[in-house]
Amino acid sequence: MSRAVFDYTKEILEKVSFNSELFHKELEKAIKKLFPHEIEELKIWLNSFTVDRPELRDCLELVV
């Protein structure tokens, strides 16, 4: 069940990545729902996902 939530979170973040405000809000929601080990995995994913999206890089401080 939990893996499905994590995968769904990534899918949503990809879909809203066109808008940094939406991305920020969805990331905040995801952090509240995910387990600590999933948040660590999300950090890794975010680092690679935002490499060519500098407008989203400031959201990384939410998962630090």
pLDDT at residue 21 in the model: 95
pLDDT at residue 14 in the model: 97
The label of the residue with tokens 């500098």 reads 54
Position 63 confidence tier, pLDDT thresholds 50, 70, 90 = confident
The secondary structure of 20-35 as a DSSP string is: HHHHHHHHHHHHHHS-
Q: Which of 9, 46, 1 is nearest to 26 (CA)?
A: 9
Tell me the domain boundaries of the chain.
Answer: 2-63
The label of the residue with tokens 């989203």 reads 56
Q: Is residue 1 over pLDDT 70?
A: no
| pLDDT tens-digit map of 25-62 | 999 999 999 999 999 999 999 999 999 999 999 988 99
Q: Which two structure tokens, joined as six digits, stand for 25?
A: 């809000």
| pLDDT tens-digit map of 2-18 | 689 999 999 999 999 99
